[in-house]
Amino acid sequence: MKHIAIIAPDGQSNLSSVACIVGSYEIFSEANAYWAKNGHNPKYEIQIVGVSDRAEFSKGLVSIKPHTHISELKKTDLIIIPSLARDFERALAGNIAMVDWMSEQYKNGAELASMCTGAFMLASAGLLNGRTCSTHWSAVNTFSVLFPHVKLQSHRTITDEAGIYTNGGAYSFLNLLVHLIEKFYDRPTAIYCSKLFQIDIDREFQSIFTIFSGQKLHDDQEIKQAQQYIESKIDEKISVDQLSSKFSIGRRNFDRRFLKATGNTPLEYAQRVKIEVAKRSFENSRKTINEVMYEIGYSDLKAFREVFRKITGMSPLEYRERYHKSLA
């Protein structure tokens, strides 16, 4: 029988961490039961593992008693890392020990799956350098600054590379669990679990849920001024040449500095700012698509639709119908 280890972290956790741990344990247990019901031998032993006798969450509101300590678990096949709290830079001693243990297990053939901001633990171990990764959209700016060598794909719900899996924000960990069940059991078991727990199967993108706030956790003051200028001119079409000239920076150098500071080209940044304003208009007003388009500086409906779909994964009409209650 193979083994699945669900991590109970030492601090740096919240109630989302509990949801990830309990959800993983329940859904994998159900997959095991379905597998056995269909005539197979038991496939996985599922355990919650930790670095203490009891892991407390939300100031003691909830506690979990791990099945075993990491020092007693010499071999596992899959390690699941739950969502973590937002004090990412402060690693507790127990979690440092956990990172070392995970790294050793990965070297010995274990696969790793992080949920939401659990990707910070994987990245801190250096296991994501040069690899793709997703995390919660609200943590993207911090993640990009702390781990510049990771290929962050925050628009994706799930990434799957070299035996390392990550997923996007919050309760999209449920989509990752279905993906893992298909990998570690089979497609029929994944479909069964998706139906039993009412989880969408094969959801690839989390772009529709993203709220773009701009990447300003950098020290390039001229680029910050350029960002603020873009954000103040929502209704205008600003060229990159115009921007670089305004701040007396050569075009190529401006592009390079802007991308390094924000993770977006100047054009991408302007598009994201405008589309975020359009999304709020669709959510909170009865304005037509054309009215919203003109307000954010677009005059070509086809171009607006293409940019909106590229960023959100939906057409403007689909987005408005989903998020404006009175139009639904």
The size of the chain, in residues, is: 328
The pLDDT score that the predictor gives to residue 139 is 87
The pLDDT score that the predictor gives to residue 93 is 55
pLDDT over 50 at 53, yes or no: yes
DSSP string, 65-89: --SEEGGG----SEEEE----S-TT
Q: Which two tokens stand for residue 273?
A: 């700012």
pLDDT over 60 at 91, yes or no: no
Identify the three-state secondary structure at position 57: strand
Give the least confident one: 8-17, 25-34, 149-158, 237-246.
Answer: 8-17
- Per CATH, which fold does 221-327 belong to? Arc Repressor Mutant, subunit A (1.10.10)
> CATH classification of 2-209 is 3.40.50.880, yes or no?
yes
The pLDDT score that the predictor gives to residue 328 is 46
Q: Which two tokens stand for residue 119?
A: 């990707």
pLDDT digits (tens, 9 = 90+) for 185-232: 999 999 999 999 999 887 777 777 777 877 888 889 999 999 999 999
pLDDT digits (tens, 9 = 90+) for 134-193: 999 888 888 888 898 999 988 889 999 999 999 988 799 999 999 999 999 999 999 999
Phi and psi for 122 in degrees, rounded to 5? -65, -45
The pLDDT score that the predictor gives to residue 275 is 93
When pLDDT is averaged across residues 90-98 and rounded to a whole number, the result is: 67
When pLDDT is averaged across residues 17-28 and rounded to a whole number, the result is: 95
Reported confidence tier of residue 326, pLDDT bands at 50, 70, 90: low
Task: Give me the residue spans of the domains in the chain.
Answer: 2-209, 221-327
The pLDDT score that the predictor gives to residue 76 is 97
The pLDDT score that the predictor gives to residue 303 is 95
